C-alpha cells in the first residue's frame, strides 16, 4: 500500500525526510513548517507530492504543520543571517576556555527558543561552563551537539577528489559502513591519501560498486593458482574484475612462456594442490567436505 508524501530537507542535514502533506499541494523548493524531535522547524520541499510504498516510510508518518508563510520565510532568513554572530561568539568562548573542540556550525531553532552548536572533538569535552556563558549572552537555551568527521563534511560541504561535491552533501541519506576490504577487492592502492575522503575516513563511494566487485571476485581464480586455458595449463598472475579477464602465464608448444589474457568463461581454473598455496579457509572447507 502507498501513501502520499512530500520529501523535505533541513538546513543542517543532507537527508530527505518524508511528511504527510495534509491535503496541501506543494511544489519543489516551497518552504514548509514541520514538527520534529527538535520542535517546529523550517524545511524546503525537495520532492513534491508523490506516493511512496509503506515499507519505505518511517512510522509514524508526521504531517506538515503548514506551507511557509511570508512571515515564516522572513523569520527563517533572520535565523540564517544570525549564524555568523553565533559562530563568532562560540569560537571566542571556546578559545577563552582553551577547550579541545572544533566548532562546525550553529543555528537558532525556528522559534528562536534554542541555539544548537555543532562541534567535533577527539575526546570527551566538559563544556558545562561554556553552555552557561553562551546562555548568559543570548538568553536562550543552549545545546551543544557533538558530531563526527563525516557529519562535519556533510554539513559544511566540500569538493571530492573527483572534482564533484561530496556524495554526502548531495544525495546520501545515511552513512553506510565502508571497510578497507572493499578497497582491496577493487584492486585500489591502500595508501590512505588515495582512498580517504575529505573527512579523513574511507570514501563512501567504495561502497557503490562493492556488490559487483564481490560477486566478480568470488568467480575469479586466485592469484598463483593453476588454470586450464585454450593454450594449455598455466598460472594465474592477475585478474581484471571489471572486464572479467584473467592474465595467465602459460607454456607454449615451443617451450617458451608467455602471459596471455583470457575471458573468465574461456578458462577452467583449479586450485594448485600444493599445501603452501591452500589458505586456512580452504583447508577448513576441505575438512568440512
CB atoms near residue 188 (< 10 Å): 14
Q: Residue 281: what pLDDT?
A: 44
Per-residue confidence at 116, pLDDT binned at 50, 70, 90? very high
What three-state secondary structure class fits 216?
helix
State the average pLDDT for the chain: 87
Give yes or no for a contact between 260 and 266, defined as CB atoms under 8 angstroms apart: no
pLDDT digits (tens, 9 = 90+) for 19-35: 999 889 999 999 999 98
Do the bridges between strand 141-146 and strand 114-120 make them parallel or antiparallel, or are there none, so unpaired? parallel
Mean pLDDT of 272-284: 44
CA angle (115, 116, 121) in 5-degree steps? 145
Confidence of residue 13 (pLDDT cuts 50, 70, 90): low
Residues 6+ apart with CB under 8 A from 8: 16, 17, 18, 19, 32, 34, 43, 44, 45, 46, 64
Mean pLDDT within 168-176: 80
Which domains are assigned to the chain? Answer: 2-68 (no CATH), 82-147 (3.30.300), 167-212 (no CATH), 220-275 (2.30.30)
CB 246 within 8 A of CB 235: no
Q: List pLDDT tens digits, range 74-89.
A: 999 999 999 999 999 9
Indicate whether 238 pLDDT > 70. Answer: yes
Average the pLDDT over 39-61 and give the result. Answer: 88
Q: What is the Cα–Cα distance from 36 to 32, expressed in whole angstroms?
A: 12
Residue count of the chain: 289
d(CA 34, CA 58) in angstroms, rounded, equals 15
Q: Which of 10-19, 101-110, 223-232 has the lowest mean pLDDT?
A: 10-19
CA distance 37 to 25: 24
Neighbours of 163 (CB within 10 A): 6
The pTM is what?
Answer: 0.69
Distance, CA of 103 to CA of 88 (rounded, Å): 10
Angle in degrees, CA 88, 142, 82, rounded to 5: 40
pLDDT for the residue numbered 52: 87
Amino acid at each position: 500500500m502507498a501513501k502520499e508524501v512530500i520529501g523535505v530537507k533541513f538546513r543542517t542535514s543532507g537527508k530527505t525526510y518524508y511528511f504527510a502533506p495534509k491535503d496541501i499541494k506543494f511544489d519543489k523548493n516551497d518552504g514548509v513548517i514541520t514538527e520534529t524531535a527538535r520542535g517546529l522547524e523550517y524545511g524546503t520541499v525537495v520532492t513534491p507530492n508523490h506516493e511512496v510504498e509503506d515499507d519505505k516510510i518511517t512510522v509514524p508518518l508526521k504531517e506538515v504543520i503548514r506551507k511557509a508563510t511570508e512571515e515564516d520565510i522572513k523569520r527563517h532568513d533572520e535565523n540564517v543571517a544570525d549564524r555568523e554572530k553565533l559562530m563568532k561568539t562560540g569560537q571566542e568562548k571556546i578559545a577563552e576556555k582553551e577547550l579541545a573542540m572544533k566548532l562546525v556550525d550553529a543555528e537558532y531553532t525556528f522559534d528562536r527558543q534554542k541555539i544548537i552548536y555543532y562541534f567535533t572533538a577527539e575526546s570527551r569535552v566538559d563544556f558545562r561552563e561554556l553552555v552557561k556563558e553562551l546562555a548568559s549572552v543570548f538568553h536562550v537555551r543552549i545545546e551543544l551537539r557533538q558530531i563526527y568527521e563525516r557529519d562535519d563534511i556533510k554539513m559544511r560541504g566540500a569538493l571530492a577528489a573527483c572534482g564533484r561535491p561530496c556524495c554526502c552533501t548531495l544525495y546520501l541519506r545515511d552513512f553506510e559502513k565502508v571497510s578497507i576490504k572493499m578497497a582491496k577487492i577493487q584492486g585500489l592502492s591502500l595508501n590512505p591519501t588515495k582512498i580517504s575522503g575529505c573527512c579523513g575516513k574511507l570514501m563512501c563511494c567504495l561502497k557503490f560498486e562493492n556488490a559487483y566487485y564481490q560477486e566478480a571476485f568470488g568467480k575469479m581464480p586466485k592469484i598463483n593458482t593453476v588454470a586450464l586455458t585454450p593454450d594449455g595449463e598455466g598460472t594465474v598472475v592477475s585478474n581484471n574484475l571489471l572486464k572479467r579477464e584473467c592474465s595467465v602465464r602459460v607454456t607454449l608448444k615451443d617451450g617458451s612462456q608467455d602471459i596471455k589474457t583470457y575471458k573468465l568463461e574461456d578458462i577452467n581454473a583449479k586450485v594448485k594442490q600444493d599445501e603452501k598455496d591452500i589458505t586456512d579457509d580452504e583447508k577448513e572447507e576441505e575438512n568440512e567436505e
